[in-house]
Amino acid sequence: MKKVLQNKSIQQKVDELLSKMTLEQKIGQMTQADRMTCSPEQAKHYHLGSILSSAGSCPDDNSPKGWVEMNDAYWQASSHQDSQHIGIPIIYGLDAIHGNNNVKGATIFPHNIGLGAANDPKLIKHIAEVTSKEVLATGVDWAFAPNLAVARDYHWGRSYESYAEDPNLVTLYAQKMIETLQGKLKQDNILACAKHWVGDGGTQYGVDQGDTILSWEELQATHIQPYKAAIKAGVLSIMVSFSSWNGDKCHAHKFLLVDILKQKMGFDGIVISDMQGIDYLEDDFYLAVAQGVNAGIDMFMVPRNWQLFIDNLLSHIELGTVSISRINDAVRRILSVKYAFGLFDKPRPAKRKWSNHPSFGCDEHRQVARKAVRKSLVLLKNSNSILPLKKHARILVAGKNADNIGHQCGGFTVNWQGVSGNEEIVGGTSIWQGIQKVATRSELSINGDGLEASPELHDLAVVVIGETPYAEGMGDIRGDDKIITEAGSQINGQVKVLRASGDSLELNKLYPEDLQTIKNISNKGVPVIAILVSGRPLIIEQELLASSAFIAAWLPGSEGQGVSDLLFGDYDFTGKLSFSWPTLSQTKVNKGDKHYNPLFPYGFGLSYYLK
């Protein structure tokens, strides 16, 4: 793809537009507000360049129809031309990180950790195609995806957003995802956003928004590598990481943002901040604004305080603490991307080809997600070839995650922290429902605890265990809050601390009911097939020992019947671990480590027919 800042026809249009713009209009383009804090009239008045929906922020009618109507109102307001308004369409963004996951009825794909286990670049292209269509169905142009984190410590609450601990797989997927999402930047495509630049998966102790302490060579080899592929694939936006590198916050890191990303690597799209990302640079937000702009950020995700951001930036320009040339550079990048994407030529959202398209959440899309589930599951244990199961077997299905589509979708689904139950995920299938469809003699445990298990009534049991939903820092595992104090003391700026989801990677300490359910059943002589629903590998020695078979299902998304496709042998297991499995003595384990001794190594995965 021809670089947008070198495209003469685009730059002629940008030059013409820039020459007409007031300072207020330029700063407006650099500002991204949330729909909850900014009406279409305000977006017009302040000349805003972008609106976003943070996770869970949606119109009252959380359907494609409601989204299109909302987007149409913003588009019309921002495109209006008069003596005060130049008429630049806003670009609307959201976190479509495993399908268009904000919207009810969307196809929800497995989270990235499962897709890494699938090790299938063609599948990634199909997922990107479906995601594009389901985002476009809502009138939206921009997805804050893919996440190119290389997660190196499972204590991190965003581990499931990473494809692999190996940067090579992340690099391969980055190219496929971006090439397909953006395509030829026509009506069938959306803008991609590679995130988070850079090193978010390498923080000390796995603390979200923490400090990645690495040499420049190590940062390049592990965390920068995927971004080279993203830029080569033509990605038009990159989001900055909340994390720090050797104590210096990425949001204020001119070396990383300008010297490396923009100049050395040649990225000429939009550098966008993360959610309120500049707030933590300084105690005084006024000073933080100048730091972020001068460090090279072009667009600012400031959903809560966007008006203050505008006022402060105007003041900085007046005082000379931010140069007008830096403003012009940022706005040039934003306008260039909008022109390259054809935003000025597109019809309003209500009139677009894919808006309200009947393919949203359709069976064809769900079949792609179902295939993704099949390819992502990893078989860790299969004693005496108990799997595959017979469809006429008497099966007890138990465990808290057996009939809970919300749990199997994980975080960033309908709401930021995900949901529980089956009501919020319209059109999905739980793992139990998938089993029930093909095994007519299966039975769901009444309370999920398996106490009704009996060898006279049940040949075996499928027990679906594991984590409940979380997102970002609220998924962190921290044994001791001294970790935060230690990490924070090394970072220049503030550290945002969220309540951790637990204090141990041991499944039995996080969710003791899981092992109890397995024992309730196995102690009665009924063999157990355990299925782990989780956003990361957990320490599972006890659960593994008490089960006859064990499957890592990750966070499979809305299509639970993909699990039963494998359980009953309609398909074989092909998933291989893209993360090494930890043990009590080695909770942080990555291939290539000096004393590498995981429970299961990177690339491990059993199958039925290959011994």
- C-alpha gyration radius of the chain: 24
CB 499 within 8 A of CB 474: yes
**Cα distance between residue 331 and residue 326, in whole Å:** 9
**Cα distance between residue 133 and residue 72, in whole Å:** 17
Helices marked H in 32-111: 40-45, 64-79
Query: 23: which residues sit within 8 A by CB, 6+ positions away?
Result: 314, 317, 324, 327
Would you put residue 276 in left (φ > 0), alpha (ψ -120 to 50) or beta?
A: left
Longest dimension (CA), the chain: 83
Residue keyed to tokens 């140069």: 323
Beta bridge partners of 197: 240
**Cα distance between residue 606 and residue 582, in whole Å:** 18
Active site residues: 274, 472
**Cα distance between residue 606 and residue 284, in whole Å:** 55
Structure token digits, residue 254:
């001119």
C-alpha of 517 from chain center: 31
Proportion of the chain in helix, strand, coil states, percent, rounded to 5: 40, 15, 45
Structure token digits, residue 375:
């390819």
First-to-final CA distance of the chain: 45
Helices marked H in 449-601: 482-489, 507-510, 512-522, 541-545, 561-567
Three-state SS for 411-447 is CCECECCCCCCCCCCCCCECHHHHHHHHCCCEEECCC
